[in-house]
Amino acid sequence: MKRTHFAVVAAGLGLALSLSACGSDDGSDTAGDNDAKIEGKIGVILPDTESSVRWESADRPALKAAFEAAGVEHTIQNAEGDAEKMAQIADSMIADGVTVLAIVNLDSASGAAIQEKAKAQGVATIDYDRLTLEGSAEYYVSFDNTVVGELQGQGLADCLGEKDANIIYLNGSPTDNNATLFSAGAHSVLDKITSYKKVGEQAVPEWDNEEAAVIFQQLYTQADGKVDGVLAANDGLGGAVISILEGNGLAGKVPVTGQDATVEGLQNILAGTQCMSIYKSATLEANALAEAAIALASGKDAETTGTTKDSESGREVPSILLEPKAITKDNVGDVIDDGGQKLADVCTADFADACKAAGLS
């Protein structure tokens, strides 16, 4: 019975076959049985509104749509960069009857504490996007973040071409396991290219964009302005770098990477000041989370793509990892076609010419 309900839910979500727990694509499920319901309520806590616009502008609506399509009760809140607040939200969600709790941790220690407390109260947890080191989440739902870093490294190499080049690395928050993976992935590509030289590298606490500009200015000065390329871990950090390059008359001359395919990132790519971004469909990630959460709430196993080793505890965490996609001027349209951004938001009056040149209209 539960299996049928899950199949209905999965069909409603339009989940990819590879992610479907029932593994059936013959359409014979009892689709249309809208009475399917699961027990309990699913809670999601997003991390902040500053480290990336994605959490409120992409993830929240995608999660809401995924849960609504599945007809499950849900609550989505944002910790606004405050780990204590995240713990309080978790407590109140559990008191409110949430039976599955997904978090995007602000750091592994606070995330692990939330998960421990939830577990003690019989509440299952899921790591959404960021793995909680030494945590106890049942599932980890994300993109392959090492591949994200590799695509960023390759994207920068493609923009730089074969030449001697000084590179500055601006990494994400030191408390975000993803930032470690992005950096490792990027280095695995760029360190092999012997004509490239690292002339500076620093992590940006909490992915703070303003601090990123200050840090980049320092690294740029330390390198005597001899910088040919910048590996910036996401579009927000990339934007901060571009603002400093602009002040030095170098915007558009020094390739800068990014991630999240934000409106600003895509506009920078179209304008030629940013070399690439990474598109990670919020719809796919939210659907994968909804599927895992619904499976847990129904006492079922979710279909995984493999396991991810927690580098601290050594635990193999059952994972659903999706494929990220590199975005350059040539395929900005793919993000729009996929519903990742709206044409009208990207192609505003200031970018009308650039959009036209890129075949976007």
Q: What share of the chain is helix, strand, coil (3-state, %, to 5)?
A: 45, 20, 35
Task: Spell out the alpha helix ranges (H) of the chain.
Answer: 2-13, 54, 60-70, 83-95, 108-120, 145-160, 177-190, 209-222, 235-247, 263-271, 282-297, 332-337, 343-346, 352-357
**Shortest spacing between CB 177 and ligand BGC, in angstroms:** 8
Binding piece for ligand BGC, criterion CB under 6 A, among 50-58, 153-161, 312-320, 349-357: 50-58
Residue 114 · residue 82 · CB < 8 Å: no
The mark string for 176-195 relative to ligand BGC (x by CB under 6 A, - otherwise) is x-x-----------------
CA 327 vs. chain centroid, Å, equals: 15
DSSP, res 57: I
67 binds ligand BGC (CB under 6 A): no
In whole angstroms, how far apart are CA 57 and each of 11, 49, 303? 25, 9, 28
The least distance separating ligand BGC from the CB of residue 237, rounded to whole angstroms, comes to 8
Q: List the one residue from 74, 130, 187, 325 that touches ligand BGC (CB under 6 A).
A: 130
- Minimum CB–partner distance for residue 234 and ligand BGC (Å): 4
Pairing of strands 316-322, 229-232: unpaired
Q: Does 41 bind ligand BGC (CB under 6 A)?
A: no
CB of 267 to ligand BGC, least distance (A): 17
For position 52 contacting ligand BGC by CB under 6 A, the verdict is yes
CA distance 232 to 211: 13
Beta bridge partners of 278: 326
**Closest separation in Å from C-beta 349 to ligand BGC:** 27
| 207 counts as binding ligand BGC under rule CB under 6 A | yes
Residue 53: CB minimum distance to ligand BGC, A: 9
259 lies in the binding site for ligand BGC (CB under 6 A): yes
CB 262 within 8 A of CB 237: no
Q: Is 319 near ligand BGC (CB under 6 A)?
A: no
Interaction of residue 144 with ligand BGC, rule CB under 6 A: no
234 makes contact with ligand BGC (CB under 6 A): yes
CA 124 to CA 292: how far, in whole Å?
11
Q: Confirm or reject binding of residue 283 to ligand BGC (CB under 6 A).
A: no
Exactly one of 6, 36, 42, 54 binds ligand BGC (CB under 6 A); which one?
54
Please report, as ranges, the residues that interact with ligand BGC according to CB under 6 A: 51-52, 54, 129-130, 172, 176, 178, 207, 234, 259-260
